[in-house]
Structures are given as structure tokens and as C-alpha cells.
Structure 1
Amino acid sequence: MKLYVYDHCPFCVRARMPFGLKNIPFELAFMANDDEETPIRMIGKKMAPILEDKDGHMGESLDIVHKVDGLSGERLFGGTPRREISDWLKTWGGTVNALVIPRTPDPVFPEFRTASARAYFTEKKEATFGAFDGLLAETETHKAEIQKGLGALASFLPDAEAATIDDIMLFPTLRSLSIVPDLTLPEPVEAYRTRMAERSGVPLVSELRKAA
């Protein structure tokens, strides 16, 4: 069983999590961000994650989560996330993107080891989010905003020692924020993020930098 991903991608983090949380062995493959041929060959479009197994190829992160969830033990990731989690992600998603997207084409991620891959991502995302230089210039404003959101999140965090659909939806966003330098999370949120990274086997960006 092989999972093709981009390391920076929160949807790919979703798909990786059940393997770690349920101790299911798999092979992890990082695609270059400008490699269009590989995903198109497998599922007909440039998208990640992609699960390859005896049944063929599957895209869509939550479909992969549900398939992997059924491979071992009790199902953990059914249902829908708590409304507080869904509402938080909707409310703060724009602020998270403003902080994360312009920092994403970083060679700490395997998919951005080449200049062409970084340029590909930058061109595509600037067309959607605006010039990265402008977003980076607004860093302190966006950091102040997300601090408010993170403070609110601390009151309804999932249990990091359990494993539910709440974790599948929330942790990828918190992991994405680990690329933002000098962003201090409230202690309960940082503790949750650190523990979920350990349990899921998806390291934070700070750990990737140590290993680089």
C-alpha cells in the first residue's frame, strides 16, 4: 500500500494520519510539486493525496481516511467533526492561508527541492492569493489575528490521546501553522499539536528542519 503526497499539503496530512494512529504499515512517496504526469497517470488529474493498493488508485483525502480506517480494528474516523471544530476552521482558514501559503514553497519539503517546483507553486498560488511579498508584509497583522483564534480553540480541543474525525480535520491546519516562525501557540494547543504529530507520525516543520 503506497500513499503519494505533498508534504506541505493538509489534505495529504489527513490521509497520512490514520496509518500512524492505527499503526498500519504503508509506503510514503513524495511527488515533486511540478510533476503533473504522475498524478494524471494515476487518477486523471493533478491532485494529492493518492492511495495505490490492490484495488487501484484512489484520490480524495477523506475517502482514503475511511478506507484505511476499515483495514484494522474498530473504526475511529466516522461521522462528522464537532460543530465547534468545523466553525473554527471556516472562521480562521483565510488567516491561516495568509500566513502559510507564501511560506510554503520551502525546500524543507521534499516536493520543493527544485527551483522549478517552487516556481510552479508560486505562480499558481499567487494567481489565487495575491503576491507573496504582499502577504509576507502583513505577517504581524495576521499573526495577531490567528492568536485570537488559537486562544479560542484552546477551550474545545480534542483529546490528543483519543483519535476521532475531529483530529483528522484539525491537526493538519495546526501542523501547517508550524511553518510560521515565532508563532507562539497557547500551551494546550501546542501540547495537542505536538502529541498528535507524534502519534500520527506526521512531523511538524520544526522537526523537518532539524532533520534537514
Structure 2
Amino acid sequence: MKLYIYEHCPFCVRARMIFGLKNILVEKQVLLSDDFQSPERMIGEKMVPILQKDDGSYMPESLDIVDYVDNNYGDKPILTGPRSPDITDLIKQLQQYDYKLVCPRYIKLGLAEFATQSAIDSFVNSKSKKMGSFDECLMQTDSLVSAVSAILNKLELLIVSPDACNGQLSLDDICLFPVLRNLTCVKSLTFSSKIKDYLQSMAKFSKVDLFFDKAI
């Protein structure tokens, strides 16, 4: 199997996680941010992640990929734990702020999807239309960090274990970890020891790197 991704994309992280958590080998290929042709050839639109199955067919949509791999590879499904509506709600709250924090930083992390200036320009132009200029977003860092920190304080109370937010691996981990992981690129954002332990544990078992060493 082959997985087409962007390194920064939280939806791609979802798909990467299930392969790592189940210790299943998959070839990963990072597409340039301005590569429209490749995904359109595979699935008819510019979207990642895309899984190329063993039979050569293509599957988009992160949670569909997660479900397919979890139920068809390995000894048995592993995402069998309960879900928490409170965690789902806090993820939605984080998503109100995180893009303005992380998008202007992605292009400075040396990620493969931004290996060319045209790829950077395409990303900046696309995101700026939705959230304003990257410079303006960076100027809002302090207020955005404050808002995110307040949400993280609520989240800390809900995390049961560093190995699974609800105590047993579930789709909540697949949805929560990617959002938290991408926030590790924000240097001024402080994570409590409990959330940091969760991040480091999930990163280890899912084989998805964090951005602490590159944070801006």
C-alpha cells in the first residue's frame, strides 16, 4: 500500500497513525502543496490523504482509510474504546484557533510539501483567503495562545492515560492527537506535563513525529 500525504496535514496524520499503531508497513509519499495533477488523477480532486490499496485502487478521506486499515489489517481492530463527547467538543473549540497559529508556521518548518517557492506561494494564497494574511495571524499569536491554553486546561482534566485519551484506543485519539501534534510547532505554547506525556506516547506508538524541535 502507498499513502499520499502532506506532513503538516492533520487529516493525513490520522491515516498515518493507524499504520503506526498497528505496526503495518506503508509506503508514504509527500506531494507538493501545489501539485494538483497527482491527486486529481487519482481521485478527481485535490485532497489528501489518499491510500493506494494493494489492488491499485485509490481511497480518499482520512477516517475511511483509518476504518479500512483497522478492520482489514492486523490481528484485530484496535480502535475499540469509548468516545467522549466532551473531547469531541474541545477538538472543535481548538479548531477555531489553531489554523491561525499553525499555518503561518508550517511554511517555516522545512516540510517536504513546501520544498519549492511555488508550493509555498500556493499554500499562502489559499489559506490567506480564509484567515487573513500570515503576518496578521502571527501578530495575533499571544491572544491565540491564550485562547488555546484555556481549552487545553479543560482537556487536561479529561485525559485518562498517556496511551489513550479515554483509557483505551478509540477514534478520539485519531482525531485529537493530530490537532495537538500540530500545535507543537508553536514555541510560545506551553503544554502541561499530562498533555505532553500523551503527545509523546502517541507519537512513539503511531510513529508520527512532533514539531517541538522545530517550533517557531
Same fold (TM over 0.5): yes
Shift of 1:48: 0.1
Corresponding residue for residue 156 of structure 2: 154
- Counterpart contact for 2:187–2:212, Cα < 8 Å: no
CA drift of 1:144 comes to 1.2
Cα displacement (A) at 1:182 = 2.6
Contact 1:65-1:77 at 8 Å conserved across structures: no
Structure 2 unaligned regions, length at least 5: none
2:190 corresponding residue in structure 1: 184
Q: Deviations for 1:105-131, whole angstroms, at most 9, x for unmatched residues?
A: 235211011111010000000001111
Distance 2:172 2:160 in 1: 7
Q: For residue 3 of structure 1, give the secondary structure of its aligned residue in structure 2.
A: strand
Could you list the per-position Cα deviations for residues 51-110 of structure 1 after superposition, in whole angstroms to 9, with x for gaps in the alignment? 001240000000000011011122123687310111001122111122112222235211
Q: Residue in 2 aligned with 1:200?
A: 206
Distance between the aligned counterparts of 2:208 and 2:110, measured in 1?
A: 14
- Secondary structure of 2:157 counterpart: helix
> How many residue pairs are counted as aligned between the two chains?
209
- When normalised by structure 2's length, the TM-score is 0.92
Range that drifts further, 153-162 or 93-102: 153-162
Runs of 4+ in structure 1 over 4 Å off: none
Question: SS at the partner of 2:184?
Answer: helix
Residue in 1 that maps onto 2:23: 23
How far, CA to CA, are the matches of 1:158 and 1:168 in structure 2? Answer: 15
Task: State the alpha-carbon separation in 2 of the partners of residues 2 and 135 from structure 1.
Answer: 35
When the two structures are superposed, what TM-score results if normalisation uses the length of structure 1?
0.93
Corresponding residue of 1:142: 144
Letter in 2 for 1:184: T
Q: Partner letter of residue 124 of structure 1?
A: S
Q: Aligned letter for 1:44?
A: G
**One-letter code of the match for 1:65?**
V
Q: Match for residue 163 of structure 1?
A: 169
| 2:3 corresponds to 1:3 | yes
Change (3 A) 1:23 1:181: same
Q: What does 1:35-184 align with in structure 2 at a 5 Å threshold?
A: 35-55=35-55, 56-70=57-71, 71-77=73-79, 81-161=83-163, 162-184=168-190
**RMSD in angstroms over aligned alpha carbons?**
1.7
Which residue of structure 1 aligns with residue 32 of structure 2?
Answer: 32
- 8 A Cα contact 2:14 2:66, kept in partner: yes
Q: Percent identity?
A: 40
